[in-house]
């Protein structure tokens, strides 16, 4: 969630959070190269609407109001 950013080994240190239209979700894309090859993860909106992903790992501890949004 963009409102509760967490450090990730995949995201660069200077990455800026791009919020979706609700201002809650991080809609920034992640592109990274590792020893296993290139990794690509679209923003949250594309992940849900275009990739039809319904299972997300939420590592933040948001308020119930924010989680409902």
Q: Which helix (H) or strand (E) holds 21?
A: none
d(CA 56, CA 29): 15
The reported pLDDT for the residue numbered 27 is 85
pLDDT at residue 67, as a whole number? 78
In this prediction, residue 52 carries a pLDDT of 92
Per-residue pLDDT of the chain (69 residues; tens, 9 = 90+): 666 666 555 555 545 677 777 777 778 888 889 899 999 988 888 988 999 998 877 777 888 888 787
Place of tokens 């590592």: 59
Residue-level pLDDT at 38: 93
Q: Residue 37 has what pLDDT?
A: 93
Return the closest-CA partner of residue 43 out of 34, 31, 59, 33.
Answer: 31
Interacting residues of 64 by C-beta distance below 8 A, sequence separation 6+: none
Q: By three-state DSSP, how is residue 47 classified? A: helix
């Amino acid at each position: 969630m963009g409102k509760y950013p967490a450090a990730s080994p995949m995201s660069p240190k200077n990455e800026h959070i791009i919020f979706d239209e609700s201002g809650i979700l991080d809609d920034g894309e992640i592109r990274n190269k590792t020893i296993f090859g290139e990794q690509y993860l679209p923003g949250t909106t594309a992940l849900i609407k275009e990739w039809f992903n319904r299972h997300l790992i939420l590592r933040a501890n948001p308020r119930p109001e924010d989680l409902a949004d």
